[in-house]
Amino acid sequence: MSKKKKEEFRNEEAILDIQDKPAFGHWLVLSIQHLFTMFGATVLVPLLVGINPSIALFSSGVGTLVYIFCTKAKIPAYLGSSFAFVGTMQVLMKTYGYPAVGQGAISAGLVYVIVSLFISRFGSNWVDSLLPPVVVGPIIIVIGLSLATTAANDAMMNNSHYDLKYFAVAIFTLVITIIFNMFLKGFASMIPVLLGIVCGYIGAIVAGIVDFQSVAAAKWFSLPAFKVMFVNYDFKLYPGAIIAMAPIAFVTMTEHMGHVMVLNKLTKRNFFKNPGLHRTLFGDGLSSVIAGFVGGPPTTSYGENIGVLAMTKVHSVWVLGGAAIFAVLFSFVGKVSALIQSIPTPVIGGISFLLFGMIASNGLRILVDNKVNYELKRNLIITAVILVIGIGGTYLQIGKFQLTSIALATIFGIIANLVLPEKANSEK
């Protein structure tokens, strides 16, 4: 089944652990499963902003490979286009165009790099005290459930209108994926998401909601429309773009750490210590810098792919690396990119019901495994605040700067954990 590289610790619950290398045929299929999972969201960001999707696909693949290299191939994560910057990028794109968006992406990545160097110098022991289970568990629940509306809209809405046919395809995709996950054996049990997407796609074709015109019109070989910074245009600095996008990096860092927390739980490791938070931040930041140079949006670790890891118990970094290589290759193959882009939203929505729920369930598992005591009022308060702010979509808007619901919930949870006493007066 696989060639196994010896390491100090092996997670026996995993079918393939982080350093396990699948057989070649299995490797290809498992990697394509991750590619399909991240594809919709990764190309949606550039479509919303007005950037060529092939650039985002290329930069996500290269960025993931860079991330794997920077983290010593110890963290199974895929980096795709970040939604946190969409609003700001839309404004910059309309006002200045590609150069401003690129400079903004580079500046956001450099913030990650600078913070990673600071942590490398002074350490990250503060993470455990700032993020105990009572904070981490609800944050992970929020990361999963905050995406629930996106999954529901993908499953139900045709443009802005409710479509029963869309909903039927989404439910069919969800049910068939659950069946595959529960009852398949052997290698097939490791690719329920891929099989679910394929069956959902076939169902969508039968329902008549797949448009093949873009596939027919696409070229077999198509060079991504790179907008290489400082080369393809007369250089001009856009301070407004830098000021607008750089601070958002501090917001996405909290989401980054939340995803690392989920991966810690799934893989039974502590990536904050090995390979270290400084390496995970540095890899993420360098990926965004590269994306900015080729004209793509900033990147971030993807909850969708973490959901696949949770469902399949295949944690091999080789598989994530394979997905990244496919992303780079497919960014040059117009027909393949167009075919994947033709997957209708209800298919993605049906899969997302399960994937996002798996992420949230892992947050609940952290609370249970660590026996968080909800007889204490402080724990109830911390959890309540994180859940309602995060899932409710509360955000802080100051000018063009926006603190997202996940980041805001994380900040409130950390502050509450630091200032609230162990017991309320009535409990003493």
pLDDT of residue 8: 64
pLDDT of residue 401: 61
Averaged pLDDT for residues 79-106: 79
pLDDT range class, residue 187, cuts 50, 70, 90 = low
Whole-number pLDDT of residue 369: 81
Average pLDDT over residues 290-303: 84
What's residue 402's pLDDT? 61
pLDDT at residue 381, as a whole number: 93
Mean pLDDT taken over the chain:
82
Identity of residue 7: E
The residues spanned by each domain of the chain are 14-137+147-369
User: How sure is the predictor about 47, in pLDDT bands with cuts at 50, 70 and 90?
Assistant: low
**Between the ranges 96-100, 145-149, 151-155, where is the mean pLDDT highest?**
151-155
**Average pLDDT rounded to a whole number, residues 143-151:** 80
**Greatest mean pLDDT range, 32-41, 43-52, 197-206:** 197-206
- Average confidence (pLDDT) over 77-82: 86
Question: Taking a C-beta distance cutoff of 8 angstroms, is the pair 67, 284 a contact?
Answer: yes
3-state SS, the chain, equals CEECCCCCCCCCCCCECCCCEECHHHHHHHHHHHHHHHHHHHHHHHHHHCCCHHHHHHHHHHHHHHHHHHCCCCCCCCEEECHHHHHHHHHHHHHCCHHHHHHHHHHHHHHHHHHHHHHHHHCCCHHHHHCCHHHHHHHHHHHHHCCHHHHHHHHHEECCEECHHHHHHHHHHHHHHHHHHHHCCHHHHHCHHHHHHHHHHHHHHHHCCCCCHHHHHCCCECCCCCCCCCCCCCCCCCHHHHHHHCCHHHHHHHHHHHHHHHHHHHHCCCCHHHHHHHHHHHHHHHHHHHHHHHCCCCEEECHHHHHHHHHHCECCHHHHHHHHHHHHHHCCEHHHHHHHHCCCHHHHHHHHHHHHHHHHHHHHHHHHHCCCCCCCHHHHHHHHHHHHHHHHCCCEEECCEEECHHHHHHHHHHHHHHHCCCCCHHHC
**Confidence bin at 283 (pLDDT 50/70/90):** very high
Of 217, 143, 212, 194, residue with least CA distance to 326: 194
What pLDDT does residue 113 have?
94
- Range ranked top by mean pLDDT from 133-147, 168-182, 248-262, 296-310: 168-182
pLDDT digits (tens, 9 = 90+) for 305-356: 887 888 788 889 999 999 999 989 888 887 776 777 778 889 888 888 887 7
pLDDT band at 2 (very low <50, low <70, confident <90, very high): very low
